[in-house]
Amino acid sequence: MTEDYYLQVKQKWEQAGYSDSQSFQAVIHPAELYAGSKKAELTPISQANGYDEQVVLWNELTPEINFTVNVPSDGLYQIQIDYFALPGKITPPERGIQINGEYQYFESRRIVFPRLWANESEQFQTDELGNEVFAKQVEVQRWQSAALTDASYLNNEPLTFYLKKGRNEIKLLYLREAMLIGRIRVESPEALPSYEDYLQRNGASDEIEALYTFEAEKSDLKSDSYIQAIASGDANVTPNRGSLITLNTLGGDSWKHGGQSVTWNINVEKTGYYELAFKYTQYFNINMPVFRKLLIDGQVPFREVAPYPFPYASDWENEVLSNDKGEPFKFYLTEGEHQLTLIADPSPYQRVIQTVRDVMEELNELNLEIKMATGNTQDVYRDWDITEQMPDITERLNGIAGKLREEYQYLRDLSGKIRIRPEIC
């Protein structure tokens, strides 16, 4: 690893006075892309899988795709790409990105472009005994538009890149798997609204008195083929067929990695405000919450659900999405079909992970200095006055211990965020 992590680099940018750019968007069409020093070869519209202009086929024969963009001021920008993952492989396409000839941070070395998967059939097949068996997974072929994101999802917002005023060269590097490339957008980051802003934006509307129930195991889209339905024999889980194995839950150990997503199509009959509730159990992280980011129709409605905590629960519980006071959030839905997505989101633990990384680096440096001070000699018959050789060692060790205590307290606070949960049935 040669670059700092994104969190460290962004902090340096902010300290240097660089901030998110304002109200800018540049659209780069496929005809403006280069493969090295030559124009990238365009695929005819007839082979573009429904895209509205010619696109670029990008496979292992093309090591890089590059383009230039002119921006009005120094600042931080996001990059969004239209892509179509070509079928034939399970693993998603991966690319790296360089800005003006360099990787700006470690996470820019690997950007993942997820595929989409679905069950082959809406109904689970059964074996000769009547037990339900895992559904065959099929890839859903469609164009997607994705902002470049940290592959680990420890940073749950789209990555930003520092661009200097004027001309910038952006280079995307092939890592694995072929895909089609459509338009690329370089744009200003958009801040998520607060819950209060969200309510004001949607205005006064009725709170609908209706109950819609959707079975989680009947998902419509998944980011990974191995996110599967799981059988639970608990009498509180539906559907339940007694002694027969019934695939009636989703997730578990197959839905735990950052960035993994599941989407359900839901229908409502009236326009208005609705509450959202999930029946869940979470016994994987003992006494600690796990987090999911909520999207409705591909957008996070407000920042309070990006991410949202699901506390430790050894039994099945009904979680109505609520604020810290236990007041349920209201979600505005128009009449008709909507897509509801949950993304596994470990970002609240990022600061702890980064602190541990920093501490390990400090300890490694300290270890090297101790070896230099002692001549790297392990002599059981010799005593060293380490404070004479390294007068600041006590202060440094106390500083490291203080950082770890602070993160320990943060984790305790995170585990202790218990909200009042309204009961639902």
* 246-274: average pLDDT: 94
Q: Measuring CA to CA, which residue among 181, 56, 54, 43 is closest to residue 111?
A: 181
Kind and range of the H or E element at 110?
none
Q: From CA 268, how far away is CA 220, in angstroms rounded?
A: 17
What number is the average pLDDT over the span 321-330?
A: 94
The residues near 224 (Cβ < 8 Å, ≥ 6 apart) are: 114, 117, 254, 260
pLDDT, residue 1, reads 56
- Residue 320 confidence (pLDDT): 96
Handedness of CA 80, 84, 90, 96 (dihedral sign): negative
Q: pLDDT tens digit string along 41-85?
A: 999 999 999 999 999 999 999 999 999 999 999 999 999 999 999
Task: Tell me: pLDDT of 419 over 70.
Answer: no
- On average, the pLDDT of the chain sits at 92
Q: What is the DSSP letter of 86?
A: P
pTM, full prediction: 0.91
The pLDDT of residue 423:
37
What mean pLDDT comes out for the span 162-182? 97
**Which pLDDT does position 425 carry in this prediction?**
29
What does the alpha-carbon distance between residue 252 and residue 270 come to, in Å, rounded to a whole number?
33
* Residue 160 near residue 148 (C-beta atoms within 8 A): no
Q: Give me the mean pLDDT over the 124-145 stretch.
A: 93
Average pLDDT, integer, range 380-386: 79
Instruction: Give 207-231 pLDDT, tens digit per residue.
Output: 889 999 999 999 999 999 999 999 9
Provide the 8-state DSSP code for 107.
Answer: G
Instruction: Name the burial class of residue 355, with classes exposed (0-12), middle (13-18) and buried (19+) by CB atoms within 10 angstroms of its CB.
Output: middle
Calpha distance 342→224 (Å, rounded): 13
Name residue 353's amino acid.
I
pLDDT (0 to 100) of residue 417: 57
